[in-house]
Structure 1
Amino acid sequence: MDLLLVEKTLLGLFIAVVGAIFISKLRGKKFKLPPGPIPVPVFGNWLQVGDDLNHRNLTDMAKKFGDMFLLRMGQRNLVVVSSPDLAKDVLHTQGVEFGSRTRNVVFDIFTGKGQDMVFTVYGEHWRKMRRIMTVPFFTNKVVQQYRYGWEDEAAHVVEDVRKNPEAATNGIVLRRRLQLLMYNNMYRIMFDRRFESEEDPLFIKLKALNGERSRLAQSFEYNYGDFIPILRPFLRGYLKICKQVKEKRLQLFKDYFVEERKKLASTTKSMNNEGLKCAIDHILDAQQKGEINEDNVLYIVENINVAAIETTLWSIEWGIAELVNHQEIQNKLRRELDTVLGHGVQVTEPDIQKLPYLQAVVKETLRLRMAIPLLVPHMNLHEAKLGGFDIPAESKILVNAWWLANNPSNWKNPEEFRPERFLEEEAKVEANGNDFRYLPFGVGRRSCPGIILALPILGITIGRLVQNFELLPPPGQSKIDTTEKGGQFSLHILKHSTIVAKPRSL
């Protein structure tokens, strides 16, 4: 750092300290703020709390400060909500007031400052994007159209694992093959395309860029510069890498998928709505009508690559890991599949409704190992009231959905992986948000519409693997490691598991 930058940083720090003290005094008179640790000027609670705002750290703070508390992270106000009633207020009762999204310096890069659907503010652009994305992605018609493809991809997984001699002996990292499954599931919907194998050069390139995007966006490393603007110069290198990855990804989406689809459409007769074959055709049709621009098209593709593929993959991986570590549950699930469907009869999407224990396994996976444990953050554009407290405008609202679903005050032995709870004391609880203790997909205006795809894909994939294989830890291990790795929003396994898959005779 050169001398001039040091001087500017110190001057900015002095001005910010004086300003923060002045503003805090004014606000102290005006607002009845939620409880929380005492902040210091400029840095707020950052020096006390640090960058790692994962669901478990926030749960520990909730136990100390209550169901709603305030963290001042530099210039940002973070309000953390940890009770079903408050969650209902944020997501449903005051869904409009808290319906916007707060972003950060990295997500601004990856979403073009909210040109997508997931991270845009609540308003006309969000309504338009949600409408345009719903028809080609998030309807029962889409499920019925593409469930044969999902079943086909699951069959390919079974076939590939059976052919791999390592799978039945030393074990394989099953996640790698499941990743290809998830890309093919979603790229069939988006582009009517699939990748033949894990060695496909385009798949390797796409997977690498998406993985780097996920790593950069989910890391806590950049929080200090996001919270405290005077420290932002130290993020220049980090943000430069983010911009490079973003540009490479969008160019890849455009060159290899969007433009290819345009060429295909131009060689056939003009398509009407009846002739649209896949999701990108609907999206491009909206662009031709002037409803969205080319950037919006690419950011829709960006959202699906991250929000639909990665989160469902994490959940499949968690579900398999828990079944490996709980052999009695795996055996019980296998018995249900064999009894209801018949030995060797492969599970399909319509069968899931006849398999209550399979549904319970999926629900329990989403409860204990929630892929987005804090949901996607909400924001109030204007001053608001919540739980008897004043919430300053543009506060970041985090709903600790993982704690709602793992609080022993609300659940019986929540630390246990016990699918039976969803057949017994919690039999009426569904993943669609009908109970505010259990919100794996959120609820309300900004809930995740991908629930309609995720649940059947999880059921088909987990069901097929349990039907066809005995899933075990590698030789010499009694269990596989399920240490968590948390990110800005995510929860996945720290170490991708090696799993032995012994084929069953069918």
Structure 2
Amino acid sequence: MADVQQGSLAVVEKSLVALFVVVVGAVLVNKFRGKKLKLPPGPLAVPIFGNWLQVGDDLNHRNLGDLAKKFGKIFLLKMGRRNLVVVSSPDLAKEMLTTKGVEFGSRTRNVVFDIFTGKGQDMVFTVYGEHWRKMRRIMTVPFFTNKVVQQYRFALEDEIGRVVEDVKSRPEASTTGIVIRRRLQLMMYNIMYRIMFDRRFESEKDPLFLQLKALNDERSRLAQSFDYNYGDFIPILRPFLRGYLNICKEIKEARLNFFKEYFVEERKKLASVKTVELKCGMDYILDAQIKGEISEDNVLYIVENINAAAIETTLWSIEWGIAELVNHPHIQNKLREELDIVLGRGVQITEPDIIRLPYLQAVVKETLRLRMATPLLVPHMNLYDAKLGGYDIPAESKILVNSWYLANNPAEWDNPQQFRPERFLEEEKKTEANGNDFRYLPFGVGRRSCPGVILALPILGLSLGRLVQNFELLPPPGHTRLDTTEKAGQFSLKILNHSLIVAKPRVF
């Protein structure tokens, strides 16, 4: 027994000595490296944990904005083994995203996104290089061009028109209210699945739609949570994430198998018996696979990207826009007045009309400014040591552009906390959502910007326009406004509570 006790004590003693050596070594390396490199400012980091114990897991846009006020327009957080650099000024955003776009053009992933993207077999999270260029080219032609918008504009208008008719058919919509988001979610799935597979779902109760939505919702919950950051930052804590990561793997496999069985394989069968021209996005993707440009896994990860990025982000923005219009009835009335005067009372807005409606465009821009769906954009990474703003950025640093802070910084914007579309007709009339002003980057800019801007803007304009044309949008009985509490995720900003909205049909 004594020998066993002595053996146990020896193990504990060795473990403590090893931990001491690691800590002392980390301190020495930190000091040596600090002298060698000119790193961005930031809070004092401790060995092993870095700044994690100080700032925690919740690295949302507002918390990072507060740190920018303290440490400046570029700062460094040591999050365990990860270097996290946060950029919070237009000039540094320009340097990083365009001037040095190649150096900082890669993507960093985390333990969860490694699972959901097959370690970068997709387009959004792959490193900058030949694979990304190939995937971007293959995805752009069938999904993200003006030609696609024009080809599918009638589908967009049809799906939005169906929303209007469905809401009108529900008696409770004009009295107690409905959660209109649910119907808009079906609309967004139908728009993107018509473009991608020439398929649509008949109703919110469609079994296939319910199964697809459940899988995507669970993927979003797991990927956007901050709860797993500790295991990503500090590898020795990763065993505590084993259960979480196993669930992620199960959901990833279930989703990819679902996409393949019910959509990709069905499209292959149709293509094999038809000799007509390519009709939908998946035909182009499958053609690239046949030519050997991409693998079957790449095909499935393209579908994953569209489901994860194109559908939900646009839906969040529509929901934010509706909430702001309900909470600012004078803005809603002003928008309705523009639609009635320019188009004619009761004349339904179409995609070509948007350019004639400057106040509608301003409402969309202001929604994207104040309630940015991806407030930190998608993280960038430098594969090699680089310079940014005169500072040394170690290789494979995770770099976030706090795009929300850029667009809500009082030093750059007049009363940024106020929802005021007029700013985009007055002092900001030259500012566009395409990245022509580095204070306003809702879709990013440069090589890794979001190509979905070409579809998102008309969908937003048509959705908000049609709803305001056809309904007076109000908070539910007993409330004066909607709850706009935010729920931030790894790369997302959505509304926490999906409120009831009263939609009173207008009489034309």
Distance 1:172 1:366 in 2: 24
Distance 2:452 2:493 in 1: 17
Shift of 1:16: 4.2
Distance 1:16 1:247 in 2: 38
Aligned to 2:268: 262
Amino acid paired to 1:459 = G
Contact 1:92 1:444 in 2 (8 A): yes
Contact 1:12 1:230 in 2 (8 A): no
Shift of 1:318: 0.1
Amino acid paired to 1:219 = S
Aligned to 2:33: 27
Q: Which consecutive aligned stretches of 4+ in structure 1 deviate over 6 angstroms post-superposition?
A: 6-12
Aligned to 2:147: 141
Distance 1:284 1:71 in 2: 43
Query: For 1:186, which of 166, 174, 192 is the aligned residue?
Result: 192
Aligned to 1:326: 328
Instruction: Tell me the secondary structure at the aligned position of residue 440 of structure 1.
Output: coil
Matched, 1:39 2:60: no
Amino acid paired to 1:263 = K
Aligned to 2:406: 404
Instruction: Tell me the secondary structure at the aligned position of residue 394 of structure 1.
Output: coil
Matched, 1:232 2:238: yes
Aligned to 1:365: 367
Aligned to 2:55: 49
Matched, 1:418 2:420: yes
Amino acid paired to 2:126 = T
Matched, 1:212 2:214: no
Shift of 1:76: 0.2
Shift of 1:25: 2.5
Instruction: Tell me the secondary structure at the aligned position of residue 260 of structure 1.
Output: helix
Matches within 5 A, 1:101-500: 101-269=107-275, 275-500=277-502
Contact 1:9 1:230 in 2 (8 A): no
For residues 254 and 15 of structure 1, do their structure 2 counterparts lie closer, same or farther at Cα, with a shift above 3 Å needed? farther
User: What are structure 1's unaligned runs of at least 5 residues?
Assistant: none
Shift of 1:266: 1.0
Distance 1:10 1:405 in 2: 49
User: What are structure 2's unaligned runs of at least 5 residues?
Assistant: 1-7
Instruction: Tell me the secondary structure at the aligned position of residue 56 of structure 1.
Output: helix
Distance 1:237 1:200 in 2: 31
Contact 1:55 1:402 in 2 (8 A): yes
Distance 2:476 2:487 in 1: 21
For residues 227 and 475 of structure 1, do their structure 2 counterparts lie closer, same or farther at Cα, with a shift above 3 Å needed? same
Amino acid paired to 1:39 = A
Shift of 1:53: 0.1
**1:114-154 deviation digits (Å, cap 9, x = unpaired):** 00000000000000000000100011100000110010001
Aligned to 2:3: none
Aligned length in residues: 498
Amino acid paired to 2:341 = T
Distance 1:102 1:13 in 2: 29
Amino acid paired to 2:49 = F
For residues 162 and 299 of structure 1, do their structure 2 counterparts lie closer, same or farther at Cα, with a shift above 3 Å needed? same
Query: For 1:80, which of 65, 82, 86 is the aligned residue?
Result: 86
Amino acid paired to 1:491 = L
- TM-score normalised to the size of structure 2? 0.96
Distance 1:72 1:426 in 2: 37
Amino acid paired to 1:228 = I
Instruction: Tell me the secondary structure at the aligned position of residue 167 of structure 1.
Output: helix
- TM-score normalised to the size of structure 1? 0.97
**1:224-243 deviation digits (Å, cap 9, x = unpaired):** 00000000000000000000
* Identity rate, percent: 80
